[in-house]
A and B are shown apart, each in its own frame.
Chain A
Amino acid sequence: MIRYENIEVSFDGFVAVPNLNLEVKEGEFFTLLGPSGCGKTTALRTLAGFVNPSRGEVYVDGKRVTQLSSDKRSIGMVFQNYALFPSMNVWENIAFGLKVRKESKADTERLVADIAAKMELTDEQLNKNISELSGGQQQRVAIARALVLQPKILLLDEPLSNLDAKLRVQLRGQLKDLQSQFGITTVYVTHDQDEALTMSDRIAVFNKGVVEQVGPPEQIYDSSSTEFVCNFIGDINVLDGALIQRLNAVSMRKLDPAKSSYLRVEKVGLARDLVGAAAVKVNGRVTARSYHGMHSRYTVDVGGNSIKTLVTENGPRALHLGATVDLFINPDNVLQY
């Protein structure tokens, strides 16, 4: 459906994206994930036609669109700040693109009413000024404005970043539902790993303009292919060479103590059966505890390694600062790079 082929983007000599090759399938919810300045928005804007690549091609539906203006690419976009036109009311915002296309008045009315109904925007809201809407309502208007032109692709550039935490979680679900309802190919940009993991069919993790890994959320999380992805996604423990050697001394699986070794926080257990039969027992002293409601997070000093572990509130409560505790680490869960 969408294909980036050897795309290079540079700004005044600075190469933001050196060589991007990426494919997005039809109907997919595809996320470009990465920290600020990693090139994910540049990649999105290249697809939208706002950025001209210095090299390479962009294809949509097998058709080369690199030189096409943004309105000819059959793409709808929802901007980070929604970019609603403040001088127009909600109805005028949604109808803007239809008017530019010189749709008949009747068609414009019908199409706006249609998309407004789907986006659950009332007649009263359609007559409101943009400034009178809440953040969530503005987002729905922005999506309606993009979808009313029936694009093949919907681009979402961090549309949840301006909202408060609770609304963000709520709207994640709504966005995903909408995408499923319309079946539209969606490219979503975010720096929030939770958003990426919960919403995406597939994720591309960006770092310094380069795609480090592409895959479904589970694969990205459990089998991070690079050290950057491993560090960027989720919460990890760093294991030093001495601890790896301690594991090697007991375990059948031999790890390389010279490599960088990481272990996800939830893969450290207080009991063997929590992390698998092959787990190795190590001993340490509790140095910190933080309470998170549903669970607590303990830091245990294991031979100079600060090993973090999660304990649900239904689990053992007897751990206290300074206490000695047994931890179980399954070498199969250790990620090495």
Chain B
Amino acid sequence: MKTSLRSMVRSPMVLVTSVVLTWFIVTFLIAPNVGLLATTFFPNGEFTPRSVDKLLSSDRAMKSLGNSFILAIVLAVTVNIVGIFIVLVTQYFDIRGSRILWLGYATTLIYGGIVLVAGYKFIYGQNGFITNLLLNYFPGMNAEWFTGFLAVVFVMTFASTSYHMLFLTSALNKVDFQTIEAAKSMGASTLTVLWRIVLPVLRPILFAITILVFLGGLTALTAPQVLGGPNFQTVTPLILTFSGSTTSRDIAALLALILGVATMILLAVMSRVERGGTYFSVSKVSATMQKQKITNPVANAVVHVVAYVLFVVYTLPILLIVVFSFTDSASIQTATLSWDRFTLDNYITVFTTQSAFEPFIVSVLYSAAAAVVVVGGLLFVARILQKYKNAATTVAEYLLHIPWILPSTMIALGLILTFDRPNALIGGQVLTGTVWVLLVAYIIIKIPFTLRMLKAAFYSVSDSVEDAARILGAKSLYTFRRVLLPIVLPTAAAITALNFNSLLDDYDTAVFLYSPLYEPLGIVIKNSTDGDNISDAMVLTLVYTVLLMIIMGLSMYAVYGRSVTSRRKKRPRALPEVPDQPATRVGREPQPDDARVTVR
């Protein structure tokens, strides 16, 4: 039912929230994008297509654009092949040790972004463990073999299967097993059932995942920057380079706009497909999925072998990072292991040397502050948007989704260009170059996911609970504080943890906005990958990586591990779901578009 604006702002809480929200939307969601457009097309106050001309005449920029699209297309194929395979072997086929395999494949949930890329470079790079191993057998081989297009595709393929682990697994487990039994009873083979019954049902989710992977490839920053080498440059690293100089900022802005437009188009297509093509089970009593045996012994053996080879590919970097983090720098540099070289010195250094633990503290503070502010603020906003339906709340909700349809590069660039001079919207202050601009960016990019989750949490509370409080005499603020908030608080805490996790090792946004005085972890880790020799910074990176994995693993367990118990006993939580073994789930349906902001 519609609520009039006047009756809405009668509540002081709503009024204050609305004023703050309006200011935030205008200042940080609208103005930066307007600023970006202005820089691109109106650099001197008048329209000029100069940036387009500059772009078209820049071979480097055009080649990078082409490379980005090639990368996106190739990843759409490779990630789907690997992603579908790992989901099938852990969830669909009866494969020995599938729980172990699942743990190996799920490592990308706690280990991604710059940390993952640095880890792969550490293992496969010029002085990496695997490269050294290979050189022993093939002394003539090129030690710099792990660079360029193939290296980027390899790393990004394994980094991007998180989408499949989260959303394809969830969708697969919702396939009604009775449809499989029905097909089998009519004589269909295992392969026919998979091909004709199961995969067609998963087609919409696979399409959505493909678009997300495509977008990931298109806007990739870390992997091309670290592993692309001189022959494989893509758009986002180029935007970063161009944005550093005032003479090329307009090309950077134009490239960011191109990425933004491509993202918007693809997400619009995805939404359309999601709306029109999701298959729901029509069964009133759908049966849970049971694992299928591969009856052909040869096929069974091949699938087992490939599954375990992939397991090694997924886990080897992590295993070696953990092991080498406990060795001295000589061992790390020579990629050799020996018992007498094991030490805790690297950990002691990280915890006792200010310069070593400072990046950690910086990242923890940024992530925690952004996670708490965004959840705390949006608790009120989500409640208002859920409770009041009118034109103002609808427009506000759309505007709050701006960060969802724009790549983080564009958001960062918009902030740089808009707040690099005194701006009346923020009291005449300059933000660019300060410690605050990165916090603002983190808050912005976490808004859509947080809002969707919190709104879902509020919607999951039955209206009659609120009615019950009302008829028992509770006023609206009392009901919010005593009844609704305690119900949505577990979800809010979980969202805070997920937001914290995904920001902790951020590089893509930080690289545009960080203050040199307070380098976050992502920047330090990236810097450690520069150059050919393993530096002391790389040694610290190994320790950082282990610590990050522990923190992320613990918070994932706190969010999802405990929710398995709560599924049995307590209320459901509105969260994007991580599959567990065996998969049992309650709560909000996972949305593939959540992945844009949750999957690392």
Contact = CB atoms under 8 A, between A and B. Distances in A.
Interface string A229-242: 00000000000000
A71 B473 contact: yes
A18 to B, nearest CB: 18
A132 B472 CA distance: 23
Contacts of A87: 483, 486-487, 489
Contact of B471 (A11, A71, A86, A131): A71
Interface in A57-88: 69-71, 75-77, 79-81, 83-88
A76 B471 CA distance: 7
B474 A100 contact: yes
A107 to B, nearest CB: 15
B465 A100 contact: no
B467 A77 contact: yes
A96 B467 contact: no
B398 to A, nearest CB: 21
B529 to A, nearest CB: 47
A273 interface: no
Interface in A75-117: 75-77, 79-81, 83-88, 96-97, 100-101
Nearest to A102: B473
B472 A100 contact: yes
A79 B463 CA distance: 10
A21 interface: no
A97 B473 contact: yes
Given A80-B464, A86-B570, A129-B570, A75 B474 contact: no
A75 B472 CA distance: 9
A148 B345 CA distance: 66
A145 B468 CA distance: 10
Contact of A85 (B473, B478, B483, B570): B483
A149 interface: yes
A145 B464 CA distance: 14
Contacts of B569: 129, 131-132
Interface residues of A, number: 29
B471 A77 contact: yes
Interface in A124-147: 129, 131-132, 145
B82 interface: no
Contact of B470 (A12, A50, A101, A132): A50
Contact of B462 (A12, A81, A100): A81
A131 B570 contact: yes
A331 interface: no
B1 interface: yes
Nearest to B490: A87
A131 B567 CA distance: 11
Contacts of B571: 86, 131
Contact of A100 (B2, B473, B487, B489): B473
Chain B interface helix/strand/loop/mixed = helix
Interface string B555-596: 000000000000001110000000000000000000000000
B467 A83 contact: yes
A93 to B, nearest CB: 9
A11 B1 contact: yes
B469 interface: yes
Contacts of B464: 79-81, 83
Contacts of B2: 12
Contact of A83 (B1, B465, B489): B465
Given A85-B483, A129-B570, A50 B467 contact: yes
A100 B258 CA distance: 56
A48 B467 contact: yes
Interface residues of B, number: 22
A11 to B, nearest CB: 6
Given A129-B570, A131-B570, A70 B471 contact: yes
Contacts of A34: none
Contact of A12 (B1, B478, B482): B1
Of B464, B482, B570, B571, the most chain A CB neighbours within 10 A belong to: B464
Contacts of B468: 77, 79, 83-85, 145
Nearest to B489: A87
B1 A96 contact: no
A325 B570 CA distance: 60
A49 interface: yes
Given A77-B467, A85-B465, A131-B570, A101 B473 contact: yes
Interface string B300-335: 000000000000000000000000000000000000
Nearest to B472: A97
A85 B469 contact: yes
Contacts of A79: 462, 464, 467-468
Contacts of A77: 467-468, 471
B472 A49 contact: no
Contacts of B487: 85-87
Interface string A143-162: 00100010000000000000
Contacts of B474: 71, 96, 100
A321 B470 CA distance: 60
Nearest to A86: B571
Nearest to B475: A100
A237 to B, nearest CB: 31
B4 to A, nearest CB: 13
Contacts of B483: 85, 87
Interface in B141-162: none
Nearest to A51: B1
A100 B471 contact: no
A131 B472 CA distance: 21
Of A50, A83, A88, A101, the most chain B CB neighbours within 10 A belong to: A83
Contacts of B473: 71, 97, 100-101, 149
A142 B538 CA distance: 61
A75 B471 contact: yes
Interface in A30-57: 48-50
Contacts of A86: 465, 487, 570-571
Contacts of A88: 486
A80 B467 CA distance: 12
A48 B471 contact: yes
A86 B489 CA distance: 12
A97 B469 CA distance: 8
A135 to B, nearest CB: 15
Contacts of B482: 96
Contacts of A84: 465, 468
A260 B474 CA distance: 52
Contacts of B489: 87
A70 B469 contact: no
A174 B469 CA distance: 25
A83 B474 CA distance: 14
A219 to B, nearest CB: 32
Contacts of B1: 11-12
Contacts of A12: 1-2
B472 A71 contact: yes
A319 to B, nearest CB: 35
The 10 closest A-B pairs by CB, nearest first: A87-B486, A97-B472, A83-B464, A71-B473, A83-B468, A79-B464, A100-B473, A70-B471, A86-B571, A83-B465
Given A48-B467, A70-B471, 5 more contacts: A85-B483, A85-B487, A96-B469, A129-B569, A149-B472
18 contacts: A50-B470, A70-B471, A71-B470, A79-B467, A83-B462, A83-B468, A84-B465, A85-B483, A85-B486, A85-B487, A86-B570, A96-B469, A97-B472, A100-B474, A131-B569, A131-B570, A145-B468, A149-B473
Interface of B: 1-2, 462, 464-465, 467-474, 478, 482-483, 486-487, 489, 569-571
Interface of A: 11-12, 48-50, 69-71, 75-77, 79-81, 83-88, 96-97, 100-101, 129, 131-132, 145, 149
